[in-house]
Amino acid sequence: QVQLVESGGGLVQPGGSLRLSCAASGFTFSTYAMSWYRQAPGKERELVARIASTGTTTNYADSVKGRFTISRDNAKNTVYLQMNSLKPEDTAVYYCKATKVDRGHSVAYWGQGTQVTVSS
């Protein structure tokens, strides 16, 4: 059974930091690219950061560059999102996603999300 379980969300003041974790099970984690998405109320889900299966390549949304860092530990089947200098506009539900193209077919798994609220 495939599972992606996010944790680490919560309430933080502007300028603060949070570290999100996403623990994976039920599939070969090290062969999947991993991403973090977020969705704020009334807005579409957007890509925040992505990391290749080997961890050698990362990509970020312009809005989080220089503040957020995505990383992964393939030995622990876990992907992380370190969020620094948080702003109220970072408030959203954060989701992790696993993706892989297998013989021309795209496979994707989503977690259930964790709430991040940035407010004073």
* pLDDT tens-place string over residues 29-64: 999 999 999 999 999 999 999 999 999 999 999 999
**Could you tell me the two tokens for 42?**
């009334």
Look at strands 46-51 and 58-60 and give their pairing.
antiparallel
Using CA atoms, how far apart are residues 119 and 101, in angstroms rounded to an integer? 39
Half-sphere exposure of 112 (CA within 13 A, CB side): 6
Strands 92-102 and 78-83: unpaired
Q: Say how far apart CA 91 and CA 38 lie, in whole Å.
A: 9
Secondary structure of residue 89 in the 3-state scheme: helix
pLDDT of residue 48: 98
Residue 98 near residue 32, CB atoms below 8 Å: yes
pLDDT in tens, 88-109: 999 999 999 999 988 888 999 9
Average pLDDT over residues 78-89: 98
Distance (Å, whole) CA 12 – CA 57: 29
Q: Dump pLDDT digits (tens) for 68-80.
A: 999 999 999 999 9
